[in-house]
Amino acid sequence: MNPSGFSVQMRRAWAIAKKDIRIYYIKGPVLIFGVFMPLFMFLAFLMGGRQLPLSFLVSGLVGMTLFFTATAVSPAIFPWEGQAKTLERLASCPVTIEAIVFGDMIASTLFGIGITIITVIIGLVLGLSLLHGIMLLTAILLAAVCFSAIGMLLAVPPTNVPSNIMMLSSLIKFPLVFISGIFIPLEQMPPWGLALAVVSPLTYFTDLVRYAFTDIHYFPILIDIAALGVFTIVFTVVTMLLHKRTMPQRM
C-alpha cells in the first residue's frame, strides 16, 4: 500500500479527527458551550419579544448554531499544538498537511452537526413543525463541512498564540452573521445588503433551513445547495493550499 495514496491519507486524517475529538471537543467546557449556546439563543430569541415568528427565527438560530459550533474550536487547534510542540510530531509523521487539515475539519464538522441536531430537537420540542426533514439534514451536512473549512481558513495566520487567532476569528465571524439574513429576512433587505448576503455561505444555509421549517425560501433550493457546494470546495482547496504554505512558519 502506497502510504502517500489518497485512501491511506484519508484513514490517517480520520485518526487526526479522533484525536481532536478526544482532546479538544470532549471536554466539559466545550460540550457545555455547545449544548447551552443554542438553548440560550432560543431563550434570547423568544424573550426578545420580536415581531418575527419563531418559525422564521429558527432558521437563523439553527444557522448561527451550526456556524458558531463548526468554527468554535478548530481555529485554535494549530496554535495550541504549535505551542505544545505536538504539531512538530505530526509534521514528522507520514501524513500530508492536507490530511492534517482535513482531519481537523472532520472533527469540527461532526461537532457542528451534533450540536445543531440538538438545537433542531429543542425546536421540535417547542412545537415547531419540520416540513422537509431530508432537506434539512442534507443542508446541515453540507454546511457543516463548509463552515469547518471556514474554521480552518481562520486558522491560517501562523501564530502560536491561541487568543490572537480567536480574536481575529471573532472579528470575521460576527459581521458574517449580520449579513446572512438571520436578523432581517432577505426580502426586506436593501439591495446593498443583499449584495453582501450573497457572498456569505451562511445565507444559503439559513435559506434552506427556513424552507425546511416554513416552506418559504428566497433563492431557488438548487441554487442554495449549489452555492453551498461551491463555497465548500473553494474554501477547502484554498485552506489546504494556504496551510501548506504557512505550516513551516509554525515550527
Give least dist CB 97 to other proteins, A. Answer: 9
Q: Is the dihedral of CA 69, 72, 77, 78 positive or negative?
A: positive
Amino acid at site 247: M
Q: How far is CA 52 from CA 13, 21, 185, 205, in A?
A: 43, 37, 10, 19
Of 7 and 188, which has the nearer Cβ to other proteins? 7
Contact region with other proteins (CB under 8 A), list: 82-90, 194-202, 203-211, 228-236: 82-90
Maximum distance among all Cα pairs of the chain, rounded to whole angstroms: 61
Of 138 and 246, which has the nearer Cβ to other proteins? 246
Is residue 84 close enough to count as binding other proteins by CB under 8 A? yes
Amino acid at site 64: M
Encoded one letter per residue, x for contact with other proteins by CB under 8 A and - for no contact, window 5-34 reads: ---xx-xx-xxx-xx--xx-----------
Is residue 245 close enough to count as binding other proteins by CB under 8 A? no
For other proteins (CB under 8 A), the number of binding residues is 29
> Read out DSSP for 115-153?
HHHHHHHHHHHTT---S-HHHHHHHHHHHHHHHHHHHHH
- The contact set with other proteins (CB under 8 A) reads 1-4, 8-9, 11-12, 14-16, 18-19, 22-23, 84-86, 88-96, 248, 251
